[in-house]
Structures are given as structure tokens and as C-alpha cells.
Amino acid sequence: MAYPPEYKYTKEHEWLSVDGATGTIGITDFAQNSLGDIVFVELPKVGAELTAGSTFGTVESVKAVSDLYAPVSGTVTAVNEELATTPEKVNNDPHAAWMVRLTLANPAEAEGLLAVADYEKFIAEEQ
């Protein structure tokens, strides 16, 4: 699966899409593939404050439970409620199955994340 070039990526395998002052976060194809079949996603509530680098939820698969790490800081404005009943959407299309949207506290934080070429190089080295 191709990684969207307009997204930014973390070494913890989250992606970030930025549109003005709004950020959208999900996990990458590499992450969902490593986890296997996802059976549960725990996400924060709307209004929660996220801090870059800190955990904001978990993804449970048939293999393990993995923490989700915020790529940037901000206030959660929306949570993908569909994932509560259909967590497998993350496996089916991880780059479309967003998890949370937030108002960015510091848009410059996104500049410190990996561009698609850097992320692809990173995962190639991990394999």
C-alpha cells in the first residue's frame, strides 16, 4: 500500500494529516499489518488535551495491545465513532480510517515529523 505523500509520519507508526489548524491522526499500513486483525480501538473523548509524544489511546489486535502516540499537541475535536463498532476498518484502509481530529496547539510541531520518503526508509530498516 502506498503511503499518502501529503501525510506526516512518526517512528511509532502514526500518520498526521494537516488542514490549516486541524490535524487528523491514524495509524499506518505498516502498523496495522504488524498488529494483525484489530478487534478494539480505545480513543480519547472530545475535548481531551493531547501532548506530542504521549499516549492517547490503544489499539487491540488478536496479537497484542499497542499504545497510540500523539504526533502533535492539541485539543481533540472529533473521534471516529465508527471504530467503536467496526475496528476492522483500520485493517481495511488504515490511511482513510482516521482515529481523532484535533485543533493543533502548535502547527510547527508537524514540521518535526517524517516525510513519506523518510518514513518508508525507516520502515525498510525495521524489517
Which residues are within 8 A (CB) of 54 and not within 5 positions of it... i.e. 6 or more apart? 69, 70
Q: Provide CATH code, domain 8-116.
A: 2.40.50.100
Q: Which amino acid is at 92?
A: N
In this prediction, residue 84 has a pLDDT band, given cuts at 50, 70 and 90, of very high
* CA 53 centroid distance within chain: 12
Residues 6+ positions from 114 with CB-CB distance below 8 Å: 8, 9, 10, 11, 122
Q: For the beta carbon of residue 53, count every other beta carbon within 10 angstroms.
A: 13
Question: What is the torsion angle, in degrees rounded to the nearest 10, for the CA atoms of residue 105, residue 108, residue 112 and residue 113?
Answer: 60
DSSP symbol at 116: H
* Mean pLDDT for the stretch of residues 99-126: 96
pLDDT band at 109 (very low <50, low <70, confident <90, very high): very high
Spatial contact of 91 and 59, defined as CB atoms under 8 Å apart: no
| pLDDT tens figures, 6-34 | 999 999 999 999 999 999 999 999 999 99
C-alpha cell at 118: 523518510
Percent of the chain with pLDDT strictly greater than 70: 100
Yes or no: say if 75 and 47 are a contact pair by the CB < 8 Å rule.
yes
Residues whose CB falls within 8 Å of the CB of residue 60, separated by 6 or more in sequence, listed in order: 38, 39, 40, 41, 42, 66
Domain segments of the chain as ranges: 8-116
